[in-house]
Amino acid sequence: MKQIPQVEFVEQPDPPAKGLGDLVQAVTDATGISWLTKRIAKARGKDCGCAARRDKLNKLVPFRGES
């Protein structure tokens, strides 16, 4: 009987945070706030502005010498 090779799935680590915006996004994702915000924005027919806010915060408070 042939043996089926075992496949290991390796979880990829998240890329390092570029700035404060990435940190805020990670916290809101972990707590479910971002899910709720996106649902409310979708119901209102508007963009939640999360990506723009994240980019602005990353530029204002960069980590590890990024600018």
Domain boundaries, the chain: 20-60
* pLDDT the model gives residue 55: 96
**Predicted local distance difference test score (pLDDT) of residue 66:** 53
Q: Beta partners for 62? A: 19
Angle between helices 33-44 and 50-60 (to 10 degrees): 130
Report the pLDDT value the prediction gives residue 65, as an integer from 0 to 100.
65
Q: What is the mean pLDDT of residues 4-11?
A: 77
Burial class (CB within 10 angstroms; exposed 0-12, middle 13-18, buried 19+) of 58: buried
Q: Can you read off the two tokens belonging to residue 28?
A: 């809101």
Dist CA 28 CA 10 (whole Å): 25
Q: What is the pLDDT of residue 64?
A: 76
pLDDT tens digits, one per residue of 21-61: 999 999 999 999 999 999 999 999 999 999 999 999 999 99
> Average pLDDT for residues 15-19, to the nearest whole number?
87
